[in-house]
Each structure stands twice: as C-alpha cells, then as structure tokens.
Structure 1
Amino acid sequence: MIIMRKHHFLLSCIIAITAFTDGSQQHRNTEDVSDYFEQIRHDPSSLSAFLTAMPKGADLHHHFSGAIFGETYWNVLTESNGWMQPYTIEVDTAGALHKAPWIHFATLSRESRFDSLKQAFLRKASIKDYDPSAGPSDQHFFSTFSRFGAVARYDMKTGMQEFKQRALAENVSYIETMLGAPDTAIRLAAGPAWEKSITGASLSDSTTVFNTLDQVYAALLKAGIGNTAKKFCHHQDLLHQQAAIDDSVFMLRYQLHGNRNEQPLTVYRKLLIAFQAASMDSLIVGVNLVSPEDGVISMRDYSLHMLMFAHLHRHFPHIRYSLHAGELAAGMVRPELLRYHISQAVLIAGAQRIGHGVDIAHEAASIPLLEVMRERKVAVEINLSSNEFILHVKNDQHPILFYHSHKVPIVISTDDAGVLRTDLTEQYILLATRYPSIHYNDIKAIVRNSIVYSFLQPDLKERKLGQLDSAFIKFENQVMFH
C-alpha cells in the first residue's frame, strides 16, 4: 500500500514537473515570438506573412451583405441569369421581371461591354477605385448596400461559404454576422397615437415611453408576432444546415438588427421579433441596431431607441446585444450631439458590446464612462478601415489607445469586408503598424477577447478558447522553428 502511494506520488511529481517544463518552454517561445514581432514590425512582407498565419479568433462586427465581395455578387447574377440596368448599374435577381433598358445577364454576357460593366458594378458596390470628387465617402459607403441587397438575400448560402473559406484561409474560427430582422404585416389600431406619443422622446420621457411600449408589446404579442420569429428561425436553421457551415474548426452565428432610420413602431416591432428569435434559436446569439447614426430619424430618436432596448431587456433578460454607438466624428453633427451616444448605449440600453465607439473622447463624462465599461467588461469593437473611410479617423486621431490605456476590452473587426475590400488580417496589420505601443502580447490578448466577449453559449465559448490557446501554441512553435 505504501509502495503504491509512493508510486502515485512520484507519478504526480513527474506530471507536475513536465507541465511546468512545458509551460516554461512555451513562455520562452512567446517571449521569443514577441521579440521577432518587433523586429519585423516595419517589414511589410514579413509582418503580413506573420499576421496571416497568426490565429485571429473571431470577427464580431460583421454585416452579412456588406461582407460579401462584389465579384461574388456578380458571379451569382451571371450564374442565375439575373438582370442589369446598364445605365444606372442597378442589378436584380433572376426572379424579378423588368423591361428595357434592363437586360438579362445571359444577353449581357455576350456583349463586349460585359467586363467594363462588371468593373462599374464593383465601383458602385464597394470602395474600389473610389474618387473623392464623386461625393462624400460616408454617402458612397452607405449607398453600396442598395446595390446588392436583393442579391444577398437571393443566395445566402454562397455568402456563408465565402465567409467560411476566407476565415479558414486567415485562421479565423468564428464569425458573428448581422442580418436584418424580419418584419410582419401586423398593424395596430392604436399605433398612430402610440407612435406620436413617443417620437423624439428624451430620457426625461422614460415613464411615458415605457408605459406606451408596454401597451405596444402586449398588442403585438396578442396579434401573433411570435409566429414571424418562429418562421424566420425555421428558415434560417434550414439554410444554415444546408450550407454545411459549422464544423470542428469554424462556426457562424447571427445577430438580428433593426434599422434606426425607420419610424418608431417599425423599429420596435423588428427589435421585438429579433429578441424573440434570439430566445428561440441558439444560432441567433444577439441583437443590434444599424444604419447611419447621423441620419435625421436616428438622431431624433436616439434616446428612444436606447429606451426600447432597456424595455425589451426587461422581457428578455438573457438576450445579449451589441449597439453601434459613437460612429461619429467632429463636424458630422453639432458638437453637443457627440456628448451622449456611447453613454446612453451603455448606461440606459445596457449594451454588452459597443460597435465603433469613435467619439468616446467627446462624451460629456468620458473618463467615468470608460471606468464603467472596464468594470462591466463592455468590449468595444474597433473597425480601423471602416473608421478611416467613413469618418476619416485614423492613426493618433483614433481612440483605440484611449480605450486600451483605460483597460476597456478591445476586439478588432472588419465591419464590411466586401464593401471595404479588406479582411481581418489587414485590420491587424493596421493595428501593428499604426500603434507601436501595442505589442505582440497585447495583440494576443485582443485576439482572445474576440472569443471571450463573443455571444457564444458558455460551453461553445470554452471549446473555442481551448482551440485558440492550442492554435497559438502551435503558431508560436512554428514561428520559432522557422
């Protein structure tokens, strides 16, 4: 018996020593990789090769239709014999019916101008060859979505496959992509009066807003709005299964969003459907709110929208949501309108993550807000290419170091890779080249944040974190070997 115990004790010691030795060796590897990273930081080719091979975890700020490249849309239109209006460069799907000057792709593909029309479409559907003299960059960016929206809905499986193949090629293991929440034909008799009572509401009107939304909520449930959420979940689950997206390496999940530039009851109705769908379906992991933050309606109803999220959180306390907030820069709106968007998203709506957060330094109480975000672990989704093109904010003007210095969790995302013609690797290249105070270990922590602050279920999150940690060990060993 004593011999047996000694045997077990010695075995335990050997295991502990081996683990310690392996851990020490890996720590040395990480330090050596960090040194190597600093050596190649200003060597574009070496840095690109390093960051392409580096595990990058997740892309958490990702719009479905805007992440698909224009070439893919063009191929879908060609293969399905869609339509094009060659004078306005508008396109539509095969199921549509149009008259001249619209032309079927089967006819168009035989014409000598086919390739030039493709290039014209790519310029309309992305920032390819963007000419500033053609108009403001933010207007061009948001105008692209009307160019390909119908095609994105027509063949979603092709888009999903594009995401997966690009993710695998650049060592991304998880994407949370945003889809528009479905709507319903339900109209409420008292709707006009309710809408009038809350339009343009401020935080001081919160009692009136909550009372009205209570009535709207009850009326929509009674009218059977839940059926819309159920049908959407069934359709999306079937599509996801048919596309064969998830495997042991990669997963795709969805956030459903409302449009902040629609009228109040339409926004609330879509958000309610989104929250209901997220409560029914594990593939739908969150809710969001999109469209230009400086739009007339979105500015008028910003506080109202935050109160809507607070109201829906009471009914769906376990549903997670991220909010586009602070996607603004000085000069876009009056200075006083830069003072509250992020704070209301965090403190009133209760967002678990913030998308963009660019105007944080303009907040009326930015330092206390950063402390709250740090304490509550409210991550900020940083989109460097997007912020540069839409807002003209980059380098030292960008608040990424402001967040980092106050220990607010950061994740790096693409926003709209297809429109911006970028990928997640390029975002990390921009991070490494523009911000030399952020070192390899910081980048490694930021990558890990992308899984930690994802909206994945806890068991899947733990699995993904384990895979990511193993991937980094393998990556660092390979870097040192070569």
Structure 2
Amino acid sequence: MRARTKWLAGALIGAAGLLTLSPALAAPPAASPEARTSAAFDAALKDRAALRLFLRAMPKGGDLHNHLSGTPYAEDFLAWADADGLCVTTDVQPALASGPCDAPGRKPARGLSKADPGLYARAVNSLSMLNYNPGADGAQASGHDQFFSTFGRFGAVTENNLPAMLAVVREYAAGDRVGYVETSVNPSAVYDLVSKVRGEAWDGDLAKAFAALEPGIPALTAKVRDQMDAAEAEADRRQGCHAQKPRMGACAVVLGYQAFAVRVQAPQVVFAQLTAAFALADADPRFVGVNIVAPEDNPTALADYRLHMRMLAFLHARYPKVKLSLHAGELTLGLVPPRELRFHVREAVEVAGAARIGHGVDIAYEDDARDLLGRMARDKVAVEINLTSNDVILGVKGADHPLHLYRKAGVPVVLSTDDEGVSRIDLTNEYLRAATEQGLTYRDLKAIARDSLEYAFVPGRSLRGAPECAKAGKACEAFLGANPKASLQWKLERDFEAFEATH
C-alpha cells in the first residue's frame, strides 16, 4: 500500500518534478444534495411549469390552516349531491338544497352535468372562485363576498358527508406531498350543546354560563367520539386503508382536528361552541386545538372581538393544556375603519393565549407592532400564511403582504391553503407563489416545511435537539414510537433525503 501511494505521488508530480499539488489544483468538493437541489430550484424559477413540477414533488410537511368544508372542490360537492338526491337551484348563483327537486327554481343534482351542462358549470362557479368576475352576471361586489358566500351554497351537502370530506382532504394532501393536515371541523354533536342556549339572554357572566353548560359536556364528548370513530372508519373503507400495512398514500396522511366557534353569532352561542371546542380538545386526542372562524370584518365579529378573546382566556384557564390557533388580523386598510386594525393580533396573543395566528395580515397596522413582533418571535407564536386567500379576500399580495416583515422579525411562518377547494388551489400553489412573488429560496421553503411540523399541534416531543435520535438505533426508534410529532418530523427528513437525491 505504501509503495502504491509513493508511486501515485510520483506520477502526480510528473517526470520533470515541476508540478506540485495545491488546494487550487485539487478537485473541488462535491456539492451537497441540498446545494444541488437548491441549484435545480433556481434554474426552475425561469420556467413556471418547471417550478410547479419541482415544488409538487417537494415534501411539504403539514398544512396547518385548513377548513374541512372548504377543502373539497365544487365538483366533489356536486357528486355528493348527486348521490344524496339533492337539488341545485337555478338562481344566478346556484346553490345546493334539499328536495323536492321538481319545485320551481330547482333541478335534481343527479345527472346534472349531462342534463344541463350550463347549470352545472354555473354551479361550479357559484360554489367556488372559478371564473369569478366582479360585477359580471350578477356576481357579488368583491372577492371577499364571493369567497365567504360559497359556504352557505354548499352547506346542504356537508352535513351528511363527513367521511367523504375526510377522505378528500387526505387524497389531496397525499397528492401534494403533505403528510399532516390540521383541519377545522365541528361534528354535528357539537350543536347539541349549542341548542340549549339559543334564544337565551346573555348577561356576560362567563362563570355562570359555563356552569350551565358543564353538565352536558360528558355526553357531548362521548357522542362526538362515536361520530368521529364512524366517520374515520368509513373514510378508511372508501380509500381501502384497512388492508394496508403499513398505510400508504392517502391512508398515511395524519389528520388533526380543530374544533371551532363561529364568531358572527350571538354571544351565548359563541360561548357554547367554544366550550364544546375546549372540552373536545381536552378529552379526545384527535382534537388538537381550538379556533374561531368566519369573516373577522363582520359587524358582529368586530363588535364582540374583545368579548370573544375574554371567552377564550376564560376557557383556556380551565383547560390549560388546550392549544389555540386563532384567526386574527384577517383585515386590511379600507375593509374596516382604522381603529379595528390596531389590536386584533395582540389580543389574540396576549389575552386569549394563541400559540399560532391564522393570517395576521394587518400586523403593520397594530399598535406597537414592533413590540408585538418581538414577543411573537420570543414566544415562538407562528403565523399561518395563506397567500392566495389573502389575495382573493383582502386584495393583499406581493410587496403588500407582511410575510417578510414576520420573517425579518424572527417570527416563525408556515404556508397553508386555508380553503383550497373554494380557491381552487393546492399547497404547491402556495409554495410557488412564495417563490415567485415573495422571493423565497429553496432553503427558505425547506425551513418552512420543517416548521410546519415543529409548530403543529401534534402531541409529543419534537425531533429537534432530541439526543435519543442523534443517530439511528433502538433508542431513536423508541423515542419516535412514543412521540408522534417527532415521528412525523423523522419521516419528513427521510422524504427530503430521497427528494434531494433525485437532483
């Protein structure tokens, strides 16, 4: 061996003895898989189709801001309406409705795509943002109004199709390289508790209101558990998951649920929904958090905003382990008076105790915004960024969007879909917009994908800094088995290794 080494050295020096090895002449070190993948991303930036191809194959971790009823596409709803024997109204903005379908102004959903293709096409437009054109054909005055009005138009079909919606959200996530989805869902049993308070007077006494609701909580949580067990089993049957060991594709997508309250209702109803949401998140590990939804600029939502934050704080004190991801700051100048832009994100963080903020678009209008950004960075309060949703609903995009403001302040950010079926997008589209409109690099997007699991409300410890998994082995296997969050993160890292190996 020594003789061979001496021979090789002599050959490199050369017969004349004039050449010597130096760092300048040595072969450059091979680029890392991440560096090669980053270079491929940079090259794809010049070709939007190539960038889409690249990003669709990229592992994305989790989608943390997702509404279950807003995930199916209009075509899904129409197919379920067909199967359920529902009707489609013949209005300018068609809606799904229960029967009878031979009444004036209604047609059967069954076979509609062939029986009346024009009405079918109008229904797809009405149930989503497809072909939305403000002011044309009697359309709503704004993207904001069209977006939110779709939920009322397809609501009739969501009531009996919870298993189908669970299956669809997993199907779409798997096709988009998303391993975890945190989706907002209220099983119908939630409204049993709410029905007890409708029409009652509201005196603002939170403790008294909670005491009145508390006896109904055990029955509520038991009924919801049964509903979700049945819905998940049916979703598994539809997707053939029972026969898969290990589960693959859509069956391998992990779902976490956020129960929620609808902020545009009377105070006693909102409080009852929040009470139910906290109780579920405390009792059923599938419900990983609590949220509050509906247009933040609605007059009732604005008038009761501070009350809602106090409700959340009251219940958070009673259920301290429950995590909150709150829609806050989904506002912009002109949509509401300036006074309404000054405190929503802060109160969600400081009063309610939100661990994550949904949207947070109005952060630059908040009082003492730099101080608030500093607190969010220090306390790791992540922000769920929904680029398409913010564009469609608020008209905020490009340089007007506060994504970079959050990132420069050190606030964790994740990319999410919001309502991908209504917007007719997927998470790849949001990564593409982040790259082309916000200038994020491959390494930026990779960090965001990792953060989507770091700040997900998945139970268990994080893989970050876990000494048990400094190297693969039995100790790491045991750690991953005991910590679902770390297990998802481990899989994401293996997926990144495989993805980067292709470049």
* 1:128 aligned residue: 130
Query: How has the CA–CA distance of structure 1 residues 43 and 106 changed in structure 2, closer, same or farther, with 3 Å as cutoff?
Result: closer
Q: Percent identity?
A: 36
Q: Which amino acid aligns with 2:497?
A: I
* 1:164 aligned residue: 170
Listed one character per residue, the Cα deviations across residues 251-290 of structure 1 (whole Å, up to 9, x for unaligned) are: 1121111000001110000110111111121111111000
* Contact kept in structure 1, 2:197 and 2:269, CA below 8 Å: no
Q: Which amino acid aligns with 2:277?
A: A
Is 1:472 aligned to 2:486, yes or no? no
Query: 2:337 & 2:30 partners in 1: Cα distance?
Result: 52
Q: Which amino acid aligns with 1:183?
A: Y
Is 1:241 aligned to 2:233, yes or no? yes
Q: For residue 154 of structure 1, give the secondary structure of its aligned residue in structure 2.
A: coil
* 1:183 aligned residue: 191
* Contact kept in structure 1, 2:81 and 2:110, CA below 8 Å: no
Which residue of 442, 447, 451 maps to 1:449?
451
Q: Which range moved further: 365-374 or 237-246?
A: 237-246
Query: How has the CA–CA distance of structure 1 residues 150 and 304 changed in structure 2, closer, same or farther, with 3 Å as cutoff?
Result: same
* Contact kept in structure 1, 2:81 and 2:157, CA below 8 Å: yes
Deviation at 1:75, TM superposition (A): 1.1
* 1:383 aligned residue: 386
* 1:346 aligned residue: 349
- As a proportion of its length, which structure holds more helix? 1
Deviation at 1:376, TM superposition (A): 0.9
Is 1:417 aligned to 2:410, yes or no? no
Query: 1:393 & 1:188 partners in 2: Cα distance?
Result: 38
Q: Which amino acid aligns with 2:96?
A: V
Q: For residue 171 of structure 1, give the secondary structure of its aligned residue in structure 2.
A: coil
Query: 2:100 & 2:355 partners in 1: Cα distance?
Result: 44
Which residue of 360, 365, 374 maps to 1:362?
365
Is 1:320 aligned to 2:328, yes or no? no
Q: Which range moved further: 78-87 or 326-335?
A: 78-87
Query: How has the CA–CA distance of structure 1 residues 26 and 353 changed in structure 2, closer, same or farther, with 3 Å as cutoff?
Result: farther
Query: 1:36 & 1:187 partners in 2: Cα distance?
Result: 59
Deviation at 1:242, TM superposition (A): 2.2
Which residue of 451, 461, 475 maps to 2:485?
461
Map residues 71-90 of structure 1 onto 2, 5 A cutoff: 71-87=75-91, 89-90=94-95
Deviation at 1:27, TM superposition (A): 7.6
Query: 2:154 & 2:126 partners in 1: Cα distance?
Result: 10
Listed one character per residue, the Cα deviations across residues 325-362 of structure 1 (whole Å, up to 9, x for unaligned) are: 00001001111210000000000000010000000000
Q: Which range moved further: 179-188 or 62-71?
A: 179-188
Q: Which amino acid aligns with 1:473?
A: E
* 2:96 aligned residue: 91
Structure whose alpha-carbon radius of gyration is higher: 2
* Contact kept in structure 2, 1:230 and 1:277, CA below 8 Å: no
CA RMSD of aligned residues (A): 2.0
Query: 2:225 & 2:278 partners in 1: Cα distance?
Result: 12
Q: For residue 331 of structure 2, give the secondary structure of its aligned residue in structure 1.
A: coil
* 2:253 aligned residue: 250
Q: For residue 352 of structure 2, give the secondary structure of its aligned residue in structure 1.
A: coil
Query: 2:112 & 2:61 partners in 1: Cα distance?
Result: 42
Listed one character per residue, the Cα deviations across residues 137-174 of structure 1 (whole Å, up to 9, x for unaligned) are: 11111000011112122212222222222212121111
Which residue of 303, 307, 316 maps to 1:304?
307
Q: Which range moved further: 235-244 or 260-269?
A: 235-244
Map residues 108-147 of structure 1 onto 2, 5 A cutoff: 111=115, 114-133=116-135, 134=139, 135-147=141-153
Q: Which amino acid aligns with 1:216?
A: A
Query: 1:382 & 1:277 partners in 2: Cα distance?
Result: 26
Q: Structure 1: any 5+ residue segments left out of the alignment?
A: 1-24, 199-211
Query: 1:282 & 1:440 partners in 2: Cα distance?
Result: 34
* Contact kept in structure 2, 1:292 and 1:298, CA below 8 Å: yes
Q: Give the TM-score, by structure 1 length.
A: 0.86
Q: For residue 339 of structure 2, give the secondary structure of its aligned residue in structure 1.
A: helix
Q: Structure 2: any 5+ residue segments left out of the alignment?
A: 1-28, 242-246, 461-482
